[in-house]
Chain A
Amino acid sequence: MTEFTPFSSLIGGALIGLSAVLLMALDGRIAGISGIATRLLPPYREGAGSLSALAFVAGLVCAPFVVMAVTGQPVLQTVSSNLPLMAIAGLLVGFGANLGGGCTSGHAVCGISRLSTRSIVATVTFMATAFVTVFVVRHMVGG
């Protein structure tokens, strides 16, 4: 079981949105994490902004430590220790996000906010396959 946190989830979501709006206002870019991560990879093109992508990713990595320093509370994070499963999950997430042109942030936050049909379709699609995957893993295979 995990705690249902409507208030802090709403606030956290608003912070994610604020980051997305400011990234557009200042750097003119969509805050899609898979897109930002892809800019770290070769082949490098001029104007791809690999350095700024690296800075954004560094910020993401540091975030839980900043939260811990400010609140004095530990950040709870439980990651599956099934390493082959996590390797397959990572491959699928990366491959699918690049092929589909975005992930939860790029499509489900930024794209939906732009009322993009592609993003709405992508979000419905990945939500559906994720629901089915969790159902199969937890209730049919018996995880």
Chain B
Amino acid sequence: MTFVVNLLLGLLFGIGLVVSGMSNPPKVLNFLDLAGTWNPSLLFVMIGAVLVTFLGYRIVLRRDRPLLANAFRLPTAKDVDARLLSGAAIFGIGWGLGGFCPGPALTALGFAAPGALVFVPAMFAGLWAARMLTLARPPLKQA
């Protein structure tokens, strides 16, 4: 059941990315290009997504537990530390170079464009490398 739910919600998330135009890297890059061909579409995606999530979470998180799992898995880390800042900074550079963040890159996989076929394995390698680093040197307060 959890498997089917995740499949359908991945599908819904991906449809949202496609409908919003965010699965297309030039549209993302144009949002990031303030000094050039600025396209504010991404801002509207953010507004739609945050509005629904903010309201939905307020209703859902009032419950004791999710319907199909034992507990809500919410991040517990509170500190703004060097790891958060450097990670976010590095992520932004990669995002600005390729116009892909993880969701859109995965929706691109099926079209098998060479750039996407190179990006996605590199992204997994990056995720894995940072995870190994974190496991070797855990932060003082584990998230």
Contacts and interface: CB of A to CB of B under 8 A. Distances in A.
Contacts of B39: 1-4
B66 to A, nearest CB: 3
A128 B86 CA distance: 12
B61 A24 contact: yes
Interface string B56-75: 11001101011111111111
A111 to B, nearest CB: 8
Residues of A contacting B: mostly: helix
Interface residues of A, number: 113
Contact of A99 (B9, B63, B79, B90): B90
Q: Could you say which interface size class chain B belongs to?
A: 35 or more
B78 to A, nearest CB: 7
Contacts of B12: 15, 18-19, 22, 59
Interface string A118-131: 10011101111111
B108 A12 contact: no
Given A83-B115, A92-B126, A130 B92 contact: yes
A38 B123 CA distance: 10
Given A20-B49, A97-B87, 15 more contacts: A16-B13, A17-B53, A19-B10, A30-B75, A56-B6, A64-B14, A65-B110, A77-B23, A86-B119, A93-B123, A97-B126, A99-B83, A130-B32, A134-B96, A138-B36
